[in-house]
């Protein structure tokens, strides 16, 4: 859903639950507001959990020692990648 959509649902639900005093037959706007706020809160929690639980990959490239010009050279490089997407969910 995303953080923006969750905040939108929270705000819309709060407006319907606390600020609107309209009477519609067969529909209670206060209950609709509370349901929208609950959905927004659940969406916000799931979105934050999803983005915080993604993996941050560290790729280490280490070359084997070799002989260059009579001496031994060992090259070590570390590359950090934070743009790796999370793995797909099980059963995808």
Quick one: pLDDT at residue 82? Answer: 67
pLDDT at 25: 87
10-56 confidence digits (pLDDT tens): 999 999 999 988 888 889 899 999 999 999 999 999 999 888 877 66
pTM for the model stands at: 0.56
Between 5 and 87, the higher pLDDT residue: 5
Q: What pLDDT score does 51 carry? A: 83
State yes or no: pLDDT of 62 exceeds 70: no
Q: Render 30-56 in DSSP notation, one character per residue.
A: HHHHHHHHHHHHHHHHHHHHHHHSS--
């Amino acid at each position: 859903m995303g953080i923006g959509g969750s905040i939108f649902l929270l705000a819309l639900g709060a407006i319907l639950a606390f600020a609107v005093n309209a009477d519609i037959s067969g529909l209670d706007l206060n209950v609709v507001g509370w349901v929208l706020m609950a959905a927004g809160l659940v969406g916000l929690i799931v979105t934050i959990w999803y983005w915080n639980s993604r993996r941050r990959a560290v790729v280490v490239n280490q070359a084997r020692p070799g002989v260059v010009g009579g001496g031994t050279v060992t090259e070590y490089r570390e590359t950090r990648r934070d743009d790796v997407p999370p793995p797909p969910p099980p059963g995808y």
